[in-house]
């Protein structure tokens, strides 16, 4: 890619860079990734079923109403939970975990607390939650009982302390369990489950990790995992239904809980245990806990794949390549749209292999880059079109330029190409003598008046003005627009230029009779030449080069003393059999650079 191609891309890319940095520090890129990921995860979850060996015993609205006669209003006497634990034990559940805090003693019903404490002491498969508080220094962590499972690392500080809500209602031997703190991201949504909380070198386990580890699962080394949700809640039994079933003569529900992990938690709306997750704003906390346990036991939590910056780099390289080579913004946009669809489909499909590949932020930045590059390309195209219009107005009739603008054929990027054209050279006879006898100002004024008339004739006949070479004029036909009648128009222009000269001489004779010898020679030749913009990046000329141009110049030199206008045999033949001209043969002329003579003809109108 040349520096000329790179230069226009710097502004949009620099704008994108500054915008990306701002969005990154503002956290908006993370939120875009999260929202796109949430929609995919929630949709993908519809095809995932929760495992059958995890059962939620829900303290739902039905239970609150049904247990009112037995237990009264919530919170129930804790002996109720003790009776449930004792009744379940005969059916050998694998583990029973509570998503209910037991940190404060029931001052009105201390005997009820004692019942729960005594029953819990007899079971080893019970798990009770704790909660880590953010405020206050709290008690020293070294004083925690081993049953809670806190692990001291090599970096642990001697004065490590934390403020926690622990199950003080129970004996310390039953503090087995862990933290149930809601793990939320910057947008307050919960997408992860923390396996342990690091506090001053200590690792405090979560309730989900403790239960999963107790069931025989090897835990990952990561401090947290991204949850892979299920499309529906786990098998759920109302607390009241299970409680009544345990007191029935022939239990029906309880026998189905053998070797099951039972989580007891609140789902009733009035108990306010709901959290925002990818599944919705009101996901029961107990279902978050069961999802974490299920993911750990099946090892199917989502593994993060950091795609944002590598994916953006790949997309930017493609966009830079397309815009540097002046590809159509529409084509580039369609290609980017196709890639966007494929990337999104791939990101969604990755969930099937437990991979989380966020693509929203990278695609957003890529589309912003596309927008910036498109605006820059349109501005650059407008600027170049204006420059091309100004440039072509030097060579073409303004009406022709307007037509080229309307048809979209006008561009400074037209590459030089080979095509058949007709070249015309015109030169003033005796210009040196004429200029020696007049002041420079008078000579310039004379030339400007002469060139104005001659160029008007060239434009009127559809010619392209190439350049002025001193007192000479070079023009050609059949470029930049194609014209099958280019030879005829060039010959007609040459004859009209001769007539215009006669009118100009009569005008001059009225003021200066010494200009009677002022004359011109015109040479015309048809052949192949290379036509297009030639020059440097900063200075271009639309011109024709090649042997055809040289021969036309040599023919003009042969007109002196022979005829005012001479054309080559190629031009005469190109005019066709229906030519409106007669051609008088002046024979062969030997011109510089050619071994064989050139047949030259003097045209005249029929």
Q: Please, are residues 230 and 50 in contact by the beta-carbon 8 Å criterion?
A: yes
Work out the pLDDT band at 3, boundaries 50, 70, 90: very low
Q: Summarize pLDDT for 45-91 with one digit per residue, the tens.
A: 999 999 999 999 999 999 999 999 889 999 999 999 999 999 999 99
Distance CA 96, CA 79 (A): 16
Residue 194 backbone zone (phi > 0: left; psi -120 to 50: alpha; other: beta): beta
The three-class DSSP label of residue 107 is coil
Q: Please, are residues 246 and 88 in contact by the beta-carbon 8 Å criterion?
A: yes
The whole-number pLDDT of residue 1 equals 45
Work out the pLDDT band at 392, boundaries 50, 70, 90: low
- Stretch 528-542: mean pLDDT, rounded? 79
Residue 552 has pLDDT above 90, yes or no: yes
Rounded percentage of the chain residues whose pLDDT exceeds 90: 68
- Stretch 186-206: mean pLDDT, rounded? 94
Q: Look at residues 251, 261, 263, 247 and name the one whose alpha carbon lies nearest to residue 59.
A: 263
Number of neighbours of residue 346 by Cβ within 10 angstroms: 13
Across 226-235, 262-271, 427-436, least confident range:
427-436
Residue 448 has pLDDT above 80, yes or no: yes
Q: Look at residues 215, 240, 217 and name the one whose alpha carbon lies nearest to residue 97.
A: 215
Q: Please, are residues 211 and 293 in contact by the beta-carbon 8 Å criterion?
A: yes
The whole-number pLDDT of residue 77 equals 95
Q: Look at residues 493, 513, 490 and name the one whose alpha carbon lies nearest to residue 501.
A: 493
Tokens representing residue 375 in the block:
């605006």
Work out the pLDDT band at 503, boundaries 50, 70, 90: confident
Distance CA 209, CA 211 (A): 6
Work out the pLDDT band at 385, boundaries 50, 70, 90: confident
Q: Report which DSSP code applies to 302.
A: B
Rounded percentage of the chain residues whose pLDDT exceeds 70: 92
The whole-number pLDDT of residue 404 equals 58
The whole-number pLDDT of residue 446 equals 86
The whole-number pLDDT of residue 5 equals 47
Strands in 151-152's sheet, in edge-to-edge order, are 151-152, 202-205, 196-199
The whole-number pLDDT of residue 407 equals 58
Helical packing angle, 360-392 and 329-350, nearest 10°: 170
Residue 481 has pLDDT above 90, yes or no: no
Between strands 355-356 and 303-304, the pairing is: parallel
The whole-number pLDDT of residue 398 equals 64
Q: Summarize pLDDT for 354-363 with one digit per residue, the tens.
A: 999 999 999 9
Distance CA 500, CA 252 (A): 116
Work out the pLDDT band at 430, boundaries 50, 70, 90: confident
DSSP line for 255-301 = GGGTT-EEEEEE--GGG--EEEETTEEEEEHHHHHHHHHHHHHHT-P
Q: Report which DSSP code applies to 206.
A: B
Distance CA 6, CA 410 (A): 23
Residue 417 has pLDDT above 70, yes or no: yes
Residue 8 has pLDDT above 90, yes or no: no
Q: Look at residues 526, 552, 586, 550 and name the one whose alpha carbon lies nearest to residue 426.
A: 552
The whole-number pLDDT of residue 136 equals 62
Q: Report which DSSP code applies to 172.
A: G
Tokens representing residue 363 in the block:
């695609």
Stated as kind and residue range, the H or E segment containing 349 is helix 329-350
Residue 366 has pLDDT above 80, yes or no: yes
Distance CA 582, CA 579 (A): 8
Average per-residue pLDDT for the chain:
89
Distance CA 544, CA 422 (A): 10
Q: Is the peptide bond before 512 cis (omega within 30 degrees of 0)?
A: no
* Domains of the chain in sequence order: 3-28+305-387 (no CATH), 53-130+169-185+206-301 (no CATH), 413-605 (3.30.70.1230)
Q: Please, are residues 293 and 216 in contact by the beta-carbon 8 Å criterion?
A: no
Residue 199 has pLDDT above 50, yes or no: yes
Work out the pLDDT band at 515, boundaries 50, 70, 90: low
Tokens representing residue 110 in the block:
């201390």
Per-position b or e across 29-55, b if 16+ CB within 10 A of its CB: bbbbbbebbbebbeebbeebebbebbb
Q: Please, are residues 478 and 463 in contact by the beta-carbon 8 Å criterion?
A: no
The whole-number pLDDT of residue 383 equals 75
Query: 10 versus 7: which is more confidently predicted?
Result: 10
- Stretch 99-118: mean pLDDT, rounded? 94
Backbone angles phi, psi at 236, to 5 degrees: -120, 135
Residue 547 has pLDDT above 90, yes or no: yes
Helix, strand, coil percentages for the chain (3-state, nearest 5): 45, 25, 30
Residue 445 has pLDDT above 90, yes or no: no
Q: Please, are residues 324 and 5 in contact by the beta-carbon 8 Å criterion?
A: yes
Q: Please, are residues 522 and 509 in contact by the beta-carbon 8 Å criterion?
A: no
Across 72-81, 191-200, 282-291, 508-517, least confident range:
508-517
* Cα radius of gyration rounded to whole Å, the chain: 46
Work out the pLDDT band at 406, boundaries 50, 70, 90: low
The whole-number pLDDT of residue 537 equals 65
Work out the pLDDT band at 516, boundaries 50, 70, 90: low
Distance CA 341, CA 351 (A): 16
Distance CA 192, CA 38 (A): 12
Number of neighbours of residue 319 by Cβ within 10 angstroms: 26
Number of neighbours of residue 159 by Cβ within 10 angstroms: 10
Across 165-179, 280-294, 376-390, 516-530, least confident range:
376-390
Work out the pLDDT band at 4, boundaries 50, 70, 90: very low
Tokens representing residue 595 in the block:
């071994």
């Amino acid at each position: 890619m040349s520096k000329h191609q790179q230069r226009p891309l710097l502004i949009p890319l620099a704008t994108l860079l500054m915008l990306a940095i701002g969005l990154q520090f503002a956290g908006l890129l993370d939120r875009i990734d999260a929202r796109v990921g949430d929609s995919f995860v929630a949709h993908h979850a519809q095809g995932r079923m929760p495992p059958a060996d995890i059962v939620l015993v829900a303290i739902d609205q039905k239970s609150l109403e049904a247990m009112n006669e037995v237990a009264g209003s919530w919170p129930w006497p804790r002996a109720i939970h003790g009776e449930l634990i004792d009744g379940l034990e005969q059916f050998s559940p694998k583990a029973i975990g509570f998503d209910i805090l037991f940190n404060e003693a029931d001052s009105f019903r201390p005997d009820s607390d004692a019942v729960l404490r005594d029953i819990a002491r007899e079971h080893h498969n019970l798990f009770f939650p704790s909660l880590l508080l953010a405020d206050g220094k709290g008690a020293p962590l070294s004083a925690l009982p081993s049953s809670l499972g806190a692990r001291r690392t090599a970096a642990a500080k001697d004065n490590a302390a934390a403020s926690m809500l622990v199950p003080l209602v129970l004996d310390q031997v039953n503090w087995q369990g862990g933290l149930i703190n809601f793990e939320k991201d910057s947008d307050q949504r919960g997408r992860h489950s923390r396996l342990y909380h690091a506090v001053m070198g200590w690792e405090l386990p979560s309730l989900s990790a403790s239960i999963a580890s107790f069931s025989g699962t090897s835990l990952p080394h990561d401090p947290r995992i991204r949850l892979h949700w299920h499309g529906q809640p786990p098998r759920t039994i109302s607390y009241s239904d299970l409680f009544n079933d345990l007191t029935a003569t022939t239990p029906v529900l309880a026998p189905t809980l053998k070797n099951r992990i039972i989580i007891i938690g609140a789902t009733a709306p009035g108990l306010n245990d709901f959290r925002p997750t990818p599944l919705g704003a009101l996901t029961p906390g107990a279902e978050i806990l069961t999802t974490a346990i299920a993911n750990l036991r099946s090892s199917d939590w989502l593994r993060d794949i950091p795609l944002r910056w590598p994916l953006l780099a790949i997309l930017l390289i493609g966009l830079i390549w397309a815009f540097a080579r002046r590809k159509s913004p529409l084509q580039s946009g369609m290609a980017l749209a196709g890639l966007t669809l494929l990337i999104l489909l791939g990101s969604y499909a990755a969930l099937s292999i437990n991979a989380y590949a966020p693509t929203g932020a990278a695609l957003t930045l890529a589309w912003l880059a596309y927008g910036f590059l498109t605006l820059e390309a349109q501005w650059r195209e407008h600027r170049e079109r204006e420059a091309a219009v100004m440039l072509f107005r030097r060579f073409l009739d303004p009406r022709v330029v307007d037509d080229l603008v309307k048809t979209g054929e006008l561009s400074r990027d037209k590459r030089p190409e080979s095509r058949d054209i007709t070249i015309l050279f015109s030169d003033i006879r005796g210009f040196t003598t004429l200029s020696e006898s007049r002041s420079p100002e008078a000579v310039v004024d004379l030339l400007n008046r002469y060139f104005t008339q001659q160029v008007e004739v060239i434009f009127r006949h559809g010619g392209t003005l190439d350049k002025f070479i001193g007192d000479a004029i070079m023009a050609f036909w059949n470029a930049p627009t194609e014209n099958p009648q280019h030879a005829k128009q060039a010959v007609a222009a040459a004859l009209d230029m001769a007539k215009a000269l006669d009118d100009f001489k009569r005008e001059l004779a009225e003021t200066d009779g010494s200009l009677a010898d002022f004359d011109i020679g015109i040479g015309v030749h048809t052949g192949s030449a290379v036509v297009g913009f030639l020059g440097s990046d900063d200075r271009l000329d639309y011109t024709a080069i090649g042997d055809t141009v040289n021969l036309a110049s040599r023919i003009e030199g042969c007109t002196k003393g022979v005829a005012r206008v001479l054309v080559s045999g190629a031009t005469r033949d190109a005019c066709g059999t229906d030519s409106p001209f007669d051609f008088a043969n002046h024979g062969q002329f030997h011109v510089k650079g050619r071994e064989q003579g050139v047949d030259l003809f003097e045209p005249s109108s029929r």
